[in-house]
């Protein structure tokens, strides 16, 4: 904040404005904003395959990934991952391990 503003506003007001600016820049978007971004962002089959493999499932040559709109909620995405050897339903929950289910 420019020094001339500090003189006019006083040190306390200048500090409060600076703190407010920092909070607006640092605070993450609301849950609704994150959910909207999740529904719009395309998911890579390779990225989802890595998550499936980390959890002990085999996925060779991931071919396709589609969002399962019927099973998804705004906060929790459900994806259908087609690999060469199997197809999986992957439920992504933020900050938790994915729930993986093999589809016959």
Q: Spell out the per-residue pLDDT of the chain, length 104, in tens.
A: 555 554 555 555 555 445 445 544 444 555 555 555 444 557 889 999 999 999 999 999 999 999 999 998 888 889 999 999 999 999 988 788 889 999 97
Rg over alpha carbons for the chain, rounded to the nearest Å, is: 22
77-82 and 64-67 as β-strands: parallel, antiparallel, unpaired?
antiparallel
**Cα–Cα separations (whole angstroms), residue 11 to 18, 22, 23:** 11, 17, 18
The pLDDT of residue 104 is 75
Entry pTM: 0.58
* 32 and 45 Cβ atoms separated by less than 8 Å: no
**Structural domain boundaries of the chain?**
1-30, 42-103
């Amino acid at each position: 904040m420019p020094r001339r503003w500090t003189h006019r506003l006083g040190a306390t007001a200048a500090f409060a404005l600076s703190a407010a600016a920092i909070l607006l820049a640092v605070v993450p978007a609301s849950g609704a904003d994150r959910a909207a971004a999740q529904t719009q962002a395309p998911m890579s089959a390779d990225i989802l395959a890595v998550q499936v493999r980390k959890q002990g499932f085999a996925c060779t040559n991931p071919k396709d990934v589609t969002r399962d709109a019927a099973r998804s909620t705004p906060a929790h995405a459900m994806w259908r991952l087609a690999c060469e050897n199997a197809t999986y339903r992957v439920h992504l929950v933020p900050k938790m391990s994915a729930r993986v289910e093999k589809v016959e």
